[in-house]
């Protein structure tokens, strides 16, 4: 190190970095979160260097012992992080040199902080994706089981937030599950592109040392080393892709949250959330606020912002590495934390939802939700669809005038709009008949809902098994 600058790169400089600039450009306050991955990568790098003869076996063992001890210091909170040393990498390397002497300085042979940080972030993202996937699986499992239990619980389906046709609560929950299934596929697909190793690209052009990148990749569990050294150190597509996944996932959780907030209101009164997921009011003692879904809905904008930040960060960067890329970590770290916490909250909360079946059923009876069933009934009797549509429209107008639902009208009342209507019309005007009539894959019939839940359960089990 240069005594004038006290930096690992100070040999070319004649004066120390300005104190403000040192603080402004340092990243150790947040990238110390990569310490475990940094040590993991360094151990693999030292192992590979010894295997190709750049380090001796004794040097390798000394380095690995020192790094393992440093890992212990960090885990116990005994490590002294230094801002003048800029980042997690130089802090660990400096401590290693303090512990084992000149051998510690040999660790950086054949690599740069550019490929080192790119490797650390990918290792970190791979670990976090695996943790997030566990919560996503847990949420899907809970949602599928609740849907199966509520396959016959009738509720209104909506378009434009207006009563449209009756569905079941189980069917609605499986619509949520379909969103999460697509998110799950996106997450696993993203992991494939995360799991490519940049180590060995060095600063931008590789190294003249006889390294074996396939050995390093195998030691670190990467699928393969990267193909191009320029791209390896400058690529942050995987971070953008993960944040894109996160934005779509949070959009889905936000849509679910909006419905949960509506359904817990006195105006809907469809469900009850256990008290542990709600809070009260400091002034209104009757209040029970659905804070968990409201907060998830709010955090969606935060993740959207991180996606735009990363896209903007990368949009004008020439090859290869630029200091701009230091700004990738904070939005990425916060996205990881936000996604994990939102999924955990939902995975805990969703299975505990208690449907208010009577309220749901009564709401489905309002709004002429079986009007389409009446039109379909007329078509099956030989009436042209457009004529059937007109007949049902007249029936609904009559119902609005008299305050009667279609199922509450007498046969004579219905026949005034079409002589084709017979006694069997009441088989389709009941909510149960309406739901059961849509007896096809993807339909609302309870047996179809249970079958769909079973298919979802099997698909998730196959995903767990790596099929």
pLDDT of residue 4 exceeding 70, the answer is: no
pLDDT of residue 278: 87
* Calpha distance 396→400 (Å, rounded): 6
Average pLDDT over residues 290-314: 97
Q: Is 112 a catalytic residue?
A: no
Closest by CA position to 435, among listed 370, 377, 375, 388: 370
Q: Three-state SS across the chain?
A: CCCCCCCCCHHHCCCCCCHHHHHHHCCHHHHHHHHHHHHHHHHHHHHHHHHCCCCCHHHHHHHHHHHHHHHHHHHCCCCCCCHHHCCHHHHHHHHHHHHHHHHHHHCCCCCCHHHHHHHHHHHHHHHHHHHHHHHHHHHHHHHHHHHHHCCCCEEEEEECCEEEEEEEHHHHHHHHHHHHHHHHHHHHHHHHHHCEECCCCCCCCCCCCCCCHHHHHHHHCCCEECCCHHHHHHCCHHHHHHHHHHHHHHHHHHHHHHHHHHHHCCCCCCEECCHHHCECCCCCCCCCECHHHHHHHHHHHHHHHHHHHHHHHHCCCCCCCCHHHHHHHHHHHHHHHHHHHHHHHHHHHHHHCEECHHHHHHHHHCCCCCHHHHHHHHHHCCCCHHHHHHHHHHHHHHHHHHCCCHHHCCHHHHHCCCCCCCHHHHHHHCHHHHHHHCCCCCCCCHHHHHHHHHHHHHHHHHHHCCC
Average pLDDT over residues 432-449: 95
Average pLDDT over residues 368-375: 92
Identify which has the larger pLDDT, 287 or 133.
133
pLDDT of residue 42: 98
* Calpha distance 425→161 (Å, rounded): 27
pLDDT of residue 283 exceeding 90, the answer is: no
Average pLDDT over residues 145-149: 98
Average pLDDT over residues 333-339: 98
Which residue is catalytic, options 14, 160, 316, 410?
Answer: 160
pLDDT of residue 10: 61
pLDDT of residue 353 exceeding 80, the answer is: yes
Tokens representing residue 356 in the block: 């208010």
For the beta carbon of residue 384, count every other beta carbon within 10 angstroms: 10
* Calpha distance 97→107 (Å, rounded): 9
pLDDT of residue 467 exceeding 50, the answer is: no
pLDDT of residue 2 exceeding 50, the answer is: no
* 210-264 pLDDT, tens digit each: 999 999 999 999 999 999 999 999 999 999 999 999 999 999 999 999 999 999 9
- The answer to whether 150 and 170 are in contact (CB under 8 A) is yes
Q: Is 340 a catalytic residue?
A: no
Average pLDDT over residues 162-183: 97
* 19-44 pLDDT, tens digit each: 788 778 889 999 999 999 999 999 99
pLDDT of residue 94 exceeding 90, the answer is: yes
Average pLDDT over residues 172-199: 98
Average pLDDT score over the chain: 94
Among residues of the chain, what percentage have pLDDT more than 90? 89
Write the CB contacts of 402 (distance below 8 Å, at least 6 apart in sequence): none
Q: pLDDT band at 9, cuts 50/70/90?
A: low
pLDDT of residue 285: 73
pLDDT of residue 1 exceeding 60, the answer is: no
pLDDT of residue 5 exceeding 70, the answer is: no
pLDDT of residue 400: 94
Closest by CA position to 382, among listed 430, 422, 434: 422
Average pLDDT over residues 378-407: 94
Q: pLDDT band at 121, cuts 50/70/90?
A: very high
Average pLDDT over residues 418-445: 94
Write the CB contacts of 422 (distance below 8 Å, at least 6 apart in sequence): 411
Burial, 14: exposed, middle or buried (Cβ in 10 Å; 0-12, 13-18, 19+)?
exposed
């Amino acid at each position: 190190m240069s005594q004038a600058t006290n930096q690992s790169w100070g040999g070319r400089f004649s004066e120390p970095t300005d104190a403000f600039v040192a603080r402004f450009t340092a990243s150790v306050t947040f990238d110390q979160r990569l310490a475990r991955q940094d040590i993991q990568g360094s151990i693999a790098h030292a192992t590979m260097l010894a295997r190709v003869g750049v380090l001796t076996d004794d040097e390798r063992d000394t380095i690995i012992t020192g790094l393992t001890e440093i890992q212990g210091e960090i885990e116990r909170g005994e490590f002294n992080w230094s801002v003048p040393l800029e980042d997690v990498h130089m802090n660990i390397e400096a401590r290693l040199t303090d512990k084992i002497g000149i051998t510690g300085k040999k660790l950086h042979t054949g690599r740069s902080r550019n490929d080192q940080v790119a490797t650390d972030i990918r290792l970190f993202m791979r670990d976090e994706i695996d943790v997030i996937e566990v919560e996503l699986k847990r949420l899907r499992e809970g949602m599928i089981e609740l849907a199966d239990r509520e396959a016959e619980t009738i509720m209104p389906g909506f378009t434009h937030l207006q009563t449209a046709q009756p569905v079941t609560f189980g069917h609605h929950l499986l619509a949520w599950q379909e969103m999460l299934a697509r998110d799950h596929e996106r997450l696993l697909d993203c992991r494939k592109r995360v799991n490519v190793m940049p180590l060995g690209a060095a600063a931008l052009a590789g190294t003249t040392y006889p390294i074996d990148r396939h050995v390093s990749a195998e030691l670190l569990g990467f699928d393969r080393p990267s193909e191009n050294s320029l791209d390896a150190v400058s690529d942050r597509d995987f971070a953008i892709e993960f944040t894109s996944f996160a934005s779509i996932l949070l959009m889905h959780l936000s849509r679910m949250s909006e419905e949960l907030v509506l359904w817990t209101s006195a105006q809907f009164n469809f469900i009850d959330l256990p008290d542990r997921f709600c809070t009260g009011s400091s002034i209104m003692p009757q209040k029970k606020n659905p804070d968990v879904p409201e907060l998830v809905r709010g955090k969606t904008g935060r993740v959207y912002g991180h996606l735009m930040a990363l896209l903007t960060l990368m949009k004008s960067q020439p090859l290869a590495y630029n200091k701009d890329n230091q700004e990738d970590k904070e939005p990425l770290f916060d996205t990881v934390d936000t996604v994990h916490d939102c999924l955990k909250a939902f995975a805990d909360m969703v299975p505990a939802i208690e449907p208010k079946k009577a309220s749901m059923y009564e709401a489905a009876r309002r709004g002429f939700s079986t009007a389409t069933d009446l039109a379909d009934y007329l078509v099956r009797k030989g009436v042209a669809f457009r004529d059937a549509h007109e007949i049902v429209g007249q029936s609904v107008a009559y119902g609005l005038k008299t305050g009667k639902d279609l199922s509450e009208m007498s046969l004579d009342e219905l026949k005034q709009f079409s002589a084709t209507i017979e006694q069997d019309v009441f088989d389709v005007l009941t909510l149960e008949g309406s739901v059961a009539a849509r007896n096809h894959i993807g339909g609302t019939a309870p047996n179809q809902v249970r079958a769909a839940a079973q298919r979802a359960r099997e698909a998730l089990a196959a995903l767990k098994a790596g099929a």
